[in-house]
């Protein structure tokens, strides 16, 4: 399912301008080296709120939301994303959470 990692990376690049226009800074990084279950994480930062989606090639994922000023974790969910449609839905949700909507 490395395709999910590639899809997520492509989504970030395709969405970066629109997200920046909404005041959301975007960061993405991948695990280094050869791993059995490589991962990537996407950070969506809107100043007072930060959302991180960590995704492994197996489809396991964690969606977390933190309040930057206090460090409080507002949400932490473990997910199983088995298709790009589920990943799309999770990415849209991450943007909504970062926006505070």
For CA atoms 74, 79, 81, 86, the dihedral sign is negative
pLDDT tens-digit profile, the chain (101 residues): 458 999 999 999 999 999 999 999 999 999 887 878 899 999 999 988 999 999 999 999 999 999 988 989 999 999 999 899 999 999 999 999 999 86
Rounded to an integer, what distance in angstroms lies between the CA atom of residue 52 and that of residue 43? Answer: 5
pLDDT at 66: 95
The pTM of the full predicted model, rounded to 2 decimals, is: 0.91
- Per-residue pLDDT, 22: 93
Phi, psi of 52 (to 5 degrees): -125, 130
DSSP state letter for 94: H
């Amino acid at each position: 399912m490395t395709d999910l990692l590639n899809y997520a990376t492509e989504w970030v690049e395709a969405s970066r301008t629109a997200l920046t226009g909404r005041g959301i800074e975007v960061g993405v990084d991948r695990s280094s080296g050869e791993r059995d279950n490589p991962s990537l994480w996407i950070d969506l930062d809107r100043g007072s709120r930060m959302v991180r989606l960590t995704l492994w090639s197996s489809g396991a994922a964690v969606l977390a939301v933190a309040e930057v000023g206090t460090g409080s974790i507002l949400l932490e969910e473990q997910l199983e994303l088995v298709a790009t449609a589920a990943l799309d839905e999770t990415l849209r949700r991450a943007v909504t959470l970062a926006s505070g909507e």
